[in-house]
Structure 1
Amino acid sequence: MQKRNVAEFNDIELDQEESSEDLYERLRLIVDKGQEPIRLDKFLTARLEHASRNKIQQGIEAGKVLVNGKTVSANHKLKPGDELVMYSEKEVQGEEIVPEKMPLNIVFEDEEILIINKPVGLVVHPASGNPNGTLINGVAWYLQQQNKEINAENLPRFGLVHRIDKNTSGLMVLAKTPTAVTSLAKEFFDHTIQRKYVALVWGDVVEDEGTIEAHVGRHQRFRKLFDAYPDGEYGKEAITHYRVLERFGYVTLIECQLETGRTHQIRVHMQHLGHPLFNDDFYGGDRIVKGTVFTKYKQFVENCFEMCPRHALHAKTLGFMHPKTKKPVHFESEIPSDMASVIEKWRNYTKTRINQDK
């Protein structure tokens, strides 16, 4: 019987090219036709390299193993044809996490989850160049006040099941228990999480609504950037649904619903569509993409850039099945003042143009 080369449940490394929201992965096995009845934990111990029986039993108890779509006990007897699905959250690589006191905009909290409205400019997790001052540093301090047993040794695997960019504002969910981590990881992996973003993009988007399907992966020349690969020969599957909320002529306010969660997905997909995000310095939105050549217009755009000195993207809504109650929960946040001010400025500019044309 050949063992699979799979790391232990909690020790899978986050690849540099992994999506910021792919902080978990899934392994699928089918029980052989000739397999005699065998305990689940014993079967997995024989099949998985570097995974102790104790670690496997912990994973089963935490709900990270499904048999035919259901959680079972470690002593569950497998039979031929059974389908096993194993989930594993990946450890986020970075600096040691030191708790730091900082203001947190907590939208909701219970024993299982924490919903935070992340402000612009806040990095989510420590990494090279950002050893402290991140959201997780602040969350660590906050939780440490509730539980003094939390320390630097047990913080790295705190329930970070997705991330959003430093200069993207909006809602994030963090898990407070191993069960919540597993439940949310499954939802992100299976694309059942409901996430809607509001974005201001350059140009007049032709269709009122549509779907962008193009793989997203590292740019093959500029490694800090990502790019769209519509032929699907490189990168990872990425699907974004969008609809127009309001048109301002030279820019458009849209809502994007993520089906997948790849790094920079909305930013890359909208650039691919020919409509980069307003003031996105990575993907060509920090210059005048559409409009006139008049000096007044140029000054107007530059004023907008100053009002919203980041890409205009906000994670507005977040919905999922609660890890404990198994009932749907939904959270919503207001568009922050920098984006709201620019949207209103474009709205007034459009009204002025229409009045001048009459």
Structure 2
Amino acid sequence: MSIYVIFTGGTIGSSNNDNVINTDSSIQEYFISIYKEKYLCEHNFKCMNPYTILSENLGAHHLRLLINAIKEVLSNKDVEGIIVNHGTDTLQYTSAILSYVFSAINIPILLVSSNYVLSDLRSNGLINFHFAIKFIEQFNFGGVFVSYKNENDIPYIHFGTRLSAPLLFSADISSVNDSWFARFEKDVLKYNDAYNYFTAQNHLFDFNDDINLYKLSDGEILWIRPYPEMSYTCPSDNTKAVLHESFHSGSIAVNDDMRRFANECCKKNIPIYITGLEKNEAVYDNVNEYKKLGFVPVYGYSPIALYCKIWLSICNDLDISEVVKKLVAFDMI
């Protein structure tokens, strides 16, 4: 089996020197060596390294390099799976971007990260890598996924578009509404019966499309998180869309300041997408209030995935309102 491994840095590609963690160019060879030794692996790994960063420094430039590296790998007929070693801080963003760009792929792409550097006995990097390989061995379809084992848990495979935001003071990974794709029980892949992988999907891009991705100018996507006594900033003439998160129940405060903001968006034809609502559940009265003001509920989305979907739409001149409605890469629960 021919598996390509793309190294990008992150904790999984770093070392700890005098209690300071930074990327380490020697990790790539060391990683493959200790993995093969520990798991008696005989697979043929082919390695690439388009860039090396701590993932908190991720930008559009790095994502373009990664997309192009994956396209280069896919031009090889022998490839049966791709593993991207990535930092945990921005794992959710990269997994979502890759999911949308490569939604039509016919082999699995797995993102793998680590909670601690490899020399730390608490590190789960090799375990996450191992179960990415196990997934490639047992899964005969395409898509972008994340392989991760939380502390005191079993290994899970997550859809690349369904990851929740990072938790403070924790390296654990979870899917929104517990919508993981599969998990391993004693090395055997078990699918989540609640979700049908074979649901028909739309695609934003074809393999041969040139993907544009660049740093957006200030305010093109206005991302708002609610908190008590918050003040709304008026959208600029440059704003293309508003991504508004809600409290866990899908509600937010409806007051004069919010009404003024909604009216400004309406005048400028700026859509306001609000996350956090579940279909077929009772809603609080404020939900009906903000719907009247033009807020568009988007059901079952990870806010990070929605941000990435809108970002790609802006950069590639796609109709945002049409793209948001489409089920792509299993992004809507």
TM-score of the superposed pair, with normalisation by structure 2:
0.27
Q: Report the structure, 1 or 2, having the larger strand content.
A: 1
TM-score of the superposed pair, with normalisation by structure 1:
0.26
Q: Report the structure, 1 or 2, having the larger helix content.
A: 2
